[in-house]
Amino acid sequence: MAYDYSRYLRNEKLPHIWCPGCTYGIVLKSFIRAIDGLGWDKNDIVVASGIGCCSRLPGYVDFNTLHTTHGRSIAFATGVKIANPDLKVIALGGDGDMTAIGGNHFIHACRRNIDITVLVFNNNIYGMTGAQYSPTTPKGAWATTAPYGMPENNFDVVNLAIGAGATFVARTTAYHTTHCEKMIKEALQHKGLSVVEIINACPTGFGRKNKFKTPTSMLLWMKDKAVQKAKADRMSSEELADKFVIGVLHKEEKPEFIESYDSTVGLKKGE
């Protein structure tokens, strides 16, 4: 029997706006299955987004949702979580939204270890606003603002999150649909700031300029370049040179921000 996604969707908002070949619909399905697997009440879930293609996702899901300003999803999510710590709060955005315009919110949320899950939809480009390069555009890749190739070094979202203090960091791809569901589910269950980088395809903004002839070729690139962490641990740095590792890449226990704040100022839950 086919999975019934409609239970979690605002079906009156469909069809979605994403381009043919965009992988955000695949991730949307993994996201829904992850939440369904946890059995959470839809009324207890808050999803906040900024501006960009993936930031339209909250409009399609039947949770409490916020479509906010560019780069500010984590700021809004932080306010919601502090106002009602019992809510399950998720902030999502693209690579530009999270690591450029919202970069400061991203690193300081990691540093504070507030109990929010952050989903970074990394398609290596500002897709909605005209295919300008973002902080994750690979060096040498083409964008409308890099007609001779990207001259800058790119961010590694995973290492950025770990370095800033996030206590759960994972990476997955839109190709690995069940793995994507698993990573999101584990992140949602983590106490503290959890980050999942989800490698996505933007065939319209990135693929056409970078010799990906079809959307399928971008998915096959993910399949070819991704290495599960258990296998990567047995590979040499030379063997991993043109690969990226997927899985749970960092996990630790640290005091959560709101609990630490309440303890510091002498508050206890319910007072």
pLDDT tens per residue, the chain (271 residues)? 789 999 999 999 999 999 999 999 999 999 999 999 999 999 999 999 999 999 999 999 999 999 999 999 999 999 999 999 999 999 999 999 999 999 999 999 999 999 999 999 999 999 999 999 999 999 999 999 999 999 999 999 999 999 999 999 999 999 999 999 999 999 999 999 999 999 999 999 999 999 999 999 999 999 999 999 999 999 999 999 999 999 999 999 999 999 999 999 987 655 5
Q: Is residue 155 part of a domain?
A: yes
Predicted TM-score (pTM) of the model is 0.96
Peptide bond into 20 cis (omega under 30): no
Q: Enter the tokens of residue 135.
A: 């902080």
Q: What is the pLDDT of residues 33-60, one digit of tens each?
A: 999 999 999 999 999 999 999 999 999 9
6 found inside a domain: no
In a domain, 196, yes or no: yes
The pLDDT score that the predictor gives to residue 266 is: 82
> Is the Cβ–Cβ distance between 244 and 176 less than 8 Å?
no
* CATH code, domain with 246: 3.40.50.970
Owning domain of residue 219: 18-265
Domain membership of residue 12 (yes or no) is no
In this prediction, residue 12 carries a pLDDT of 96
Residue 233 maps to a domain: yes
Half-sphere exposure of 20 (CA within 13 A, CB side): 2
d(CA 112, CA 65): 23
What phi and psi values does residue 45 have, to the nearest 5 degrees? Answer: -110, 135
Whether residue 7 is contained in a domain is answered as no
Q: What confidence score (pLDDT) does residue 267 get?
A: 72
Rounded CA-CA distance 227/223 in Å is 8
Domain count along the chain: 1
Give the pLDDT of residue 268: 62
Hey, what are 203's tokens? 């065939």
141 in a domain, yes or no?
yes
- Distance (Å, rounded) from C-alpha 7 to C-alpha 134? 35
Whether 4 maps to a domain, the answer reads: no
DSSP 197-256: EEE---IIIIIGGGT--SHHHHHHHHHHHEEEHHHHTTS-TTTTTT-EEEEEEEE-----
